[in-house]
Chain A
């Protein structure tokens, strides 16, 4: 469910928290702070969360977004959880490979593949 003016939509599918970005081009400097807050809040009351963040709608990504995603990864791990990213457009994925953050994040082609990868 997306709350009014939120940038992410969160659904629980079986035991997996699926997070979709609501808008296009939203992972830029101007929105990333609020997005970061929403992401961190999404796992606040989760125990050992299994989280999949879906990038299907994302067409632009800034370095600020990488920082936010890393903080989110830390928060998920702090709750003994696992984070997967999926459905990136090639240009968005390219940013992860240039910065070598594809080594830090577990990135999958589809939501199903991401879910399959949970231990």
Chain B
């Protein structure tokens, strides 16, 4: 039985949205591909990371150029875990109005958080709400 691929670990400080997002997406995509994550998983993770990092800069840090976003990742053959932490005061995700509600459907905010929850296996906002921990657990292959 082949040895498992060593885990990919990263701990980066993102100082700017565009460069930070491009760098993270490229490295994570390579790490996922090297560990056999299929296309659907890569789509889901890419989308969740984008939403999380954008939210960190735009909402958490309120686009303050002096503030950064911290990004940590740990990807192995079984799951991909991420943490995205901004320097804002935090928020309570339970207070976001449901963007799928008829009355809210045209309100621009809330969909990013909803998409993260839809696509990732585990999602947790750590108090005071400026640190997001999320994980994608690979599907087990069918037996037989």
A interface residues, Cβ below 8 angstroms from B: 28-30, 59-64, 66-67, 70, 91, 95, 98-101, 103-104
Contacts and interface: CB of A to CB of B under 8 A. Distances in A.
B108 A30 contact: no
Given A63-B51, A64-B54, A30 B114 contact: no
Nearest to B101: A100
Interface residues of B, number: 21
Given A63-B111, A100-B105, A101-B105, A29 B50 contact: yes
Interface of B: 17-18, 21-22, 40, 43, 46-47, 50-51, 54, 99-100, 105-106, 108, 111-112, 114-115, 118
A91 B43 contact: yes
Top 10 closest pairs, chain A to chain B, by CB: A63-B111, A100-B100, A63-B112, A67-B108, A98-B118, A29-B54, A99-B111, A91-B43, A62-B50, A30-B18
A63 to B, nearest CB: 4
A66 B50 CA distance: 14
A30 B115 contact: no
A62 B105 contact: no
A70 B97 CA distance: 18
Given A30-B22, A103-B105, A98 B50 contact: no
Contacts of B105: 100-101, 103-104
A28 B105 CA distance: 20
Contacts of A99: 99-100, 111, 114-115
